């Protein structure tokens, strides 16, 4: 039979893994935004970005691409 300590442990592990995922996603998004800003400032194209990422309602979102 499972003890209350087991449930506490499972809850903490689940909450911890969710927190780690949220933090990593935020950090990744921050790096991604910095890369995009740098590329926009220097009129560069991001090698890993798909053209679909830069369209909004079918219109280009203001990247002056070379």
> Element (H or E) spanning 55, and its range?
strand 55-56
For the chain, the structural domain boundaries read 8-60
User: How do residues 8-65 score in pLDDT, each as one tens digit?
Assistant: 999 999 999 999 999 988 888 888 888 888 888 988 877 666 655 555 555 555 555 5
Position 17 scores a pLDDT of 95
Secondary element (H or E) of residue 57: none
Q: Which of 57, 56, 54, 33 is nearest to 65 (CA)?
A: 54
């Amino acid at each position: 039979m499972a003890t209350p300590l087991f449930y506490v442990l499972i809850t903490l592990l689940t909450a911890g893994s969710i927190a780690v995922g949220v933090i990593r996603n935020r950090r990744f998004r921050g790096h991604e935004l910095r890369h995009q800003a740098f590329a926009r400032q220097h009129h560069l194209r991001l090698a890993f970005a798909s053209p679909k990422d830069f369209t909004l309602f079918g219109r280009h979102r203001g990247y002056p691409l070379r």
